[in-house]
Amino acid sequence: MAELPEDAGGPSGPGRSAKETVAFIGLGIMGGPMAICLLRAGHSVIGFNRSPEKTERLSSAGGTAAGSIAEAAANADVVITMLPDSPDVEHAVMGAGGVLAHLRPGGLLIDMSTVHPRTARLIAREGEALGIDVLDAPVSGGEQGAVTGTLSIMVGGPVEAFARAGPVLSALGTTVVHVGPSGAGQIVKAANQMVVAGTLELLGEALIFLEAWDVDRELAVQVLAGGLAGSQVLDRKAAPMLARQFDPGFRIELHHKDLGIAMDAARQAGISLPVGALVAQLMGAARAQGLGELDHSALLVVLEALSGLSPGDLTPS
């Protein structure tokens, strides 16, 4: 395991002077602000998104919009992909007009999407055969972390490629750790997603429990946050849950995908994760109930239904 050296992204460190031309594929909730962080750090950014209107913010901030993945990759030293799911990444990277067909040998591909470790390993193998370094570097920290460049980034792949990626990754995150070979970043991310979903689930149960006993939930959350029950999930999600503001953030659709990755990888490893499996089923129920486009904190709505509460029973405090 290695962390980026302190000077990898520091204002006067040597890493800061290594300016790269970065092609950024996927300018959604996360990729849009991440691309802006790269510009702010002095890198050149060529952005591509399937729906082209999402490149407008990048262009007005000083970046360039590309008309295709091929065009973006052909003009870059480093390509970052930030796409929804494994098939999207496989198509964007290995398809006919994809990254590997157009990035020059010696280039670096960093996939920052959350995908199956199998996809990460497949892309790394294909890249290696073409002389292209590949890292899997999924992130945690949400939209807020993407906007402020304070993501936690878990990186799998060759250690030399990790060192090379330093000036780019340090513009996006404050905790950047090399956790092992190709695919290891995605395994760590799957563990992260189980912890976040499980914490959200118990936070939802706690809010229902507090309401059932007619306790002021805002005061309860305040004191919970100061003790061992405190967490970033509590700090960032309790207030929107109480206010019933479920605009994404992180969509239930994506968390459902991530828990599917975790369950599949656990099965492949021959281990049992009973609570993780239960939470995965509850997230699946949220999606089945038509909540897939809401923030994952809307898991609360499913938990309310289990207690016979309609959404109106838990009014904003």
Residues catalogued as catalytic:
189
Residues that contact ligand NAD, how many (by CB under 6 A): 28
Closer to ligand NAD by Cβ: residue 92 or 161? 92
Q: Which of residues 255-314 bind ligand NAD (CB under 6 A)?
A: 258
- The token duo for 306 is 């289990």
Q: Tell me how far apart the alpha carbons of residues 261 and 313 are, in angstroms, rounded to a whole number.
A: 34
CA-atom Rg of the chain in angstroms: 20
Closer to ligand NAD by Cβ: residue 142 or 166? 142
Judged by CB under 6 A, which stretch of 15-23, 43-51, 171-179, 200-208 contacts ligand NAD? 43-51
Helix 252-269 vs helix 184-212: angle between axes, to the nearest 10 degrees? 120
- The token duo for 36 is 């802006």
CA angle 101–36–292, rounded 5-degree value: 80
Q: Tell me how far apart the alpha carbons of residues 292 and 56 are, in angstroms, rounded to a whole number.
A: 26
Binding of residue 98 to ligand NAD (CB under 6 A): no
Sole residue written with tokens 């689930």: 201
Residue 18 dihedral angles phi and psi, to the nearest 5°: -80, 85
In the list 22, 66, 92, 194, the residue contacting ligand NAD (rule: CB under 6 A) is 92
End-to-end CA distance of the chain: 45
Closer to ligand NAD by Cβ: residue 182 or 193? 193
Binding of residue 27 to ligand NAD (CB under 6 A): yes
Binding of residue 71 to ligand NAD (CB under 6 A): no
Q: Tell me how far apart the alpha carbons of residues 8 and 27 are, in angstroms, rounded to a whole number.
A: 25
In the list 9, 26, 33, 166, the residue contacting ligand NAD (rule: CB under 6 A) is 26
Q: Tell me how far apart the alpha carbons of residues 23 and 35 are, in angstroms, rounded to a whole number.
A: 9
In the list 9, 15, 31, 156, the residue contacting ligand NAD (rule: CB under 6 A) is 31
Binding of residue 143 to ligand NAD (CB under 6 A): yes
Shortest reach from residue 91's CB to ligand NAD, in Å:
6
Judged by CB under 6 A, which stretch of 14-22, 81-89, 156-164, 237-245 contacts ligand NAD? 81-89
DSSP designation for 251: B
Contact 208, 245 (CB under 8 A): no
Closer to ligand NAD by Cβ: residue 247 or 313? 247
Binding of residue 47 to ligand NAD (CB under 6 A): no
Q: Which of residues 144-173 bind ligand NAD (CB under 6 A)?
A: none
Which residues in 112-213 belong to E strands, given as ranges?
133-136, 139-140, 151-156, 173-180
Residues lying near ligand NAD in the complex (CB under 6 A) are found at 25-31, 48-51, 54, 82-84, 88, 91-92, 113-114, 139-140, 142-143, 249-250, 254, 258
